[in-house]
Each structure stands twice: as C-alpha cells, then as structure tokens.
Structure 1
Amino acid sequence: MRGRCRRGHPLPGRRAQCRLRLLAPGPVWHQPQSQPKRPSHQCSTTAGTDDAAAMSQSLRQLPNLITLMRIALVVPFAWWMAQGQYDRALWTLLVAGVSDGVDGFLARRYHWQSQFGSIADPVADKCLLVTAFVMLGLSGQLPWWLVAVVVLRDAYIFGGALAYWFIVGHYQGQPTLLSKACTCALVILGLLALGDLIWPPVPELLLQGLTGLVLILCPINMVQYTLLGVRGLRRRRPAEVNRG
C-alpha cells in the first residue's frame, strides 16, 4: 500500500499529488452551438415586397391594355356602321374616346409611360378616326374629298413617324398642340356627322364650319411634322460627324 493515496490517510510525500488529482478538472464537453434561426418575418417581408413589385409592374401595363382595347373597338364600330345601326356605332365611338382620355391620364398621373404606349396610342387614334371617316363617307354623310384629306393627313404623319424612327431613331410619339387641335376638330366633326344620322338634323352651318376648320388644320399639321422631321435629321448629322 506504499505510495498509494488513501482518502483520509494520505502519505506525506504524496499529499500534494493527491490534492492536485482531486482538484484537477475533468474533461469539458462543449455542446455544439445551434445556428441562429432567421426570423420568419424577414421572409414574409421579402415575399410581400416581391408581390408588391409584381403588382406595380402589372398596373404599369394598364394604359397599354386600354389602348389595345381601343384598337379592338375599331372592328365592332365598322360593323355597326355597315349594318346601319348608327346608335350602337356612336356609343362605341364614345367609349373609345373616353378610353383615350383614361389611358392618357393614368400614364401621366402615375408615370406609367412606355415606349410601346407612345407609339400605340396615336396609332389607335388614327385607326379609329380613319375608320370613322371612311364609314361616314360610305354612308354618304361626308364628302369623299374630305375623307381623302383626313386619310392623307394620318397616313402622312404615320409614314413620317416610321421614317423618323428608322433614320433618326429615339422616336417619341408626343403630339404637338396643333395636332391635338386638329384631332379634336376631327373627333367633333365625326361625332356630329354620326349624330346627324340618329337625332334631329345638326345645323348645316356648324358642319360646314368644322369642315373648313379641318381643311385648314390638316395641311398645316402635315407641314409642321415635316419641319420637325427635318430638324431631327439635322441634329443627327452633326452627332455622326462628331463620332466619326
């Protein structure tokens, strides 16, 4: 039993060793630390942000959808006119006119303008106006020379816009004040001529006055867009020289 440490009777030489053994700490077991869980509200916040962005992107297309609807209304309008159901044709034309104001308001109010809308909106207006005047000419309500002036004006502006886009580029389909005035006169004349087929006769003097106004504004509007196209072409040439 020599050299053995007994509890309560330690040998003098071994006293320090026994004390060290008793006081020595045992092995320390470290429990693995679990990874902190990500708060669930962050995931829900991210999902909510994505849904809001998707909803905002969808709403941005609302003016374009209204414009496409206005283009689609050309078909039923022409059908009602061909069938002699002028009241339905008039209501279709009114709905198309209201939609033109609605999509423009939404695009400006909420900054939902787009390149597609800047091109599709005037195309829709021209399709509707040209169809209306052609059908009014076929019904004998408007003279064919007036219909020819309206069709020539819209075809000239549309062709000039395409040429500007191919040659100059960066086309923005923003109508001028003169173009808006001419379009407004055409719309009023078309509505009155169509209404004359449904209700009591519209005063002949009013129709003649609007016809004269259209004959003045259409050629001036064509000249204006010609000058704007030439100005854009001149701006493009110095830029090409500087790049060269």
Structure 2
Amino acid sequence: MSTTGEDVTESSAVSDRVLTVPNVISLARLLLVPVFAVLIGVGEDGWALIVLAVSGASDWLDGVLARRLGQVSRLGQMLDPAADRLFILVTLLGLAWREVVPWWLVLVLVLRDLLLLGLLGVLARRGYGPLPVHLAGKAGTFALLYAFPLLLLAEWPDPVGSVALVLGWAFAWWGVGLYWFAGGLYVVQAKQVLAADVESPRSSAPV
C-alpha cells in the first residue's frame, strides 16, 4: 500500500503488522504475476487482459482499505510497489518478445527502477525505510498499466486495433514521462533526507 505522508521519518501511522487485509490483496497480486506471464507468453490475450484488470482494481482497493482500516504497514509499502513493478516488467518483456513494443522502452523503464533500487539501498544503510510515494509516480504507474492492455488490443482487427494503438502509445508516453519525473522527485527527496540527517544526527535513525 502507498502512503502519502510528507516526511519519510513519520511512522506513527505505519505498523509492523504482517497479516492485514491490504497485505493479503497485495500478495495475491504478486501471485498473479507468473499467471499473467504465462498467459501473455502463450498468446491468451483475453485472459491476460482480465488478469491485468483484476490487478489494477486490487491495486486501488488495497490502498483504499489500508487507509480506511488504519492498516498501513511497512510490509505493504514494499509489497504494493513490488507488484506494480513486476507487472510492468513482465508485461514489457512479453510485449517486447512479441515485437509489440520496442526493446528500448524496456530499457528506459528498467533503468529508472534500478536508479530507485540504488536509492533504497543508500537509505536503508542509514536506517530509513521506503520513501513516501509521490502522486506523479502513482500516476505514471497507472498510465503504464493502462497502456499495456491497450497495446495488446492494438493487435486486434480494426477499428479496435487502430484506436487501441493510438491510445496505448499516448498512455505509454505519459507513463514514461511521469515515471522518470517521479524518479527525479525521489532523488531530490532522498538528498534532502540524507542532508537533514547529517545536519541533525540522531541517536537512532527511523526505519
């Protein structure tokens, strides 16, 4: 689940609970990733689209439930974006393998996630957990998750295929732009957090 707190050090609303309703939903989304990979690999696009739709709906649902039930957890903060990124990666690889999208698109998005992975490593060594999720990052993820089913539909006969192709690439370009814009915001936020920690060292860093 995603948090919207302003300060990475705020942890009063974030628990260490593991067994929560939102976490179960996020885990179920992770388990759908290999199912989706098989479906897209064997060309079962109809079922693959259904799995993507279920994943998108559950992504929205677990965030809403986490906030309304007061079940925002550290585990959820890791599971939710992990499921998003795995779906994006698996879909990209499947579409690139089928030559629906170019391989450079895979590289552009993977490089951004590698950048954030490096940031998380630096923050973890200083005792910090994941950074709060920005709206731009969530919007970029949603745009990409809308783009992929549309690009799958682009292989269908016209007029569905033509309309889906245009809309799919429109969402893809918006998604890439927002994805990298959010990445830049995370870099700035991480620098601010680390700079504040140097200026005001504490006996114990937040996790």
TM-score of the superposed pair, with normalisation by structure 2: 0.80
**Residue in structure 1 matched with residue 114 of structure 2 by the alignment:** 155
How big is each residue's C-alpha offset from its partner over 1:29-79, in whole Å with a ceiling of 9 and x where there is no partner? xxxxxxxxxxxxxxxxxxxxxxxxxxxxx9961111111111111101000
- In the TM superposition, what is the alpha-carbon distance from 1:136 to its structure 2 partner? 1.0
Counterpart-to-counterpart distance in 1, 2:61 and 2:141: 17
User: What is the CA-CA distance between 1:163 and the residue it aligns to?
Assistant: 2.4
CA distance in structure 1 between the aligned counterparts of 2:29 and 2:156, rounded to whole angstroms: 23
2:18 and 2:73 in contact (8 A); partners too: no
Aligned to 2:63: 104
Instruction: Say whether the 8 Å CA contact 1:185–1:210 is kept in structure 2.
Output: yes
Aligned twin of 1:179: 137
* Aligned amino acid, residue 161 of structure 2: P
**Percentage of matched positions with identical amino acids:** 29
State how far apart, in whole Å, the 2-side matches of 1:72 and 1:215 are.
25
User: In the alignment, what sits opposite 2:74?
Assistant: 115
**172, 182, 190: which one aligns with 2:148:** 190
- How far residue 216 of structure 1 moved from its aligned partner, in angstroms, is 2.6
The runs of 5 or more residues in structure 2 that have no matched partner are 1-16
Shift in Å, 1:151: 1.7
- Give deviations 1:57-113, integer Å, cap 9, x for gaps: x99611111111111111010001111111111111111111111111111111011
Q: How many equivalent residue pairs?
A: 184
1:217-242 Cα offsets, whole Å, 9 max, x none, are 233222211111111111111232x7
Q: CA offsets per residue over residues 171-220 of structure 1, 9 Å max, x none?
A: 24431011112112111111211222346304344344334323432332
Question: 2 CA distance for matches of 1:190 and 1:154?
Answer: 18
Partner of residue 190, structure 2: 229
Aligned amino acid, residue 170 of structure 1? Y
Q: Would the aligned equivalents of 2:37 and 2:94 in 1 still touch at CA under 8 Å?
A: yes
In structure 1, C-alpha distance between the alignment counterparts of 2:130 and 2:183, rounded to whole Å: 17
Task: Output the CA distance in 1 between the equivalents of 2:123 and 2:36.
Answer: 31
**Which letter maps to 1:96?**
S
The residue aligned with 1:216 is 177
**Partners in 2 of 1:76 and 1:198 — Cα distance?**
22
Structure 1 regions of 5+ residues with no counterpart?
1-57
Residues 122 and 173 of structure 1 are in contact (CA less than 8 Å); yes or no, is this contact kept in structure 2?
Answer: no
- Relative to structure 1, the CA distance from residue 208 to residue 72 in structure 2 (aligned partners, 3 Å threshold; closer, same or farther) is closer
Asked which structure has the greater RCO (Cα within 8 Å, sep 6+), the reply is 2
What is the alpha-carbon distance in structure 2 between the residues aligned to residue 98 and residue 198 of structure 1? 24
Match of 2:10 in 1: none
In structure 2, C-alpha distance between the alignment counterparts of 1:64 and 1:230, rounded to whole Å: 30
1:61–1:207 CA distance, 2 compared to 1 (3 A): closer
Give 1 or 2 for the bigger CA radius of gyration.
Answer: 1
Match of 1:38 in 2: none
RMSD: 2.2
Q: Distance in 2 between matches of 1:183 and 1:145?
A: 18
Letter in structure 1 aligned against 2:138: K
Alignment of 1:1-244 (within 5 A): 61-167=20-126, 169-198=127-156, 200-203=160-163, 204-240=165-201
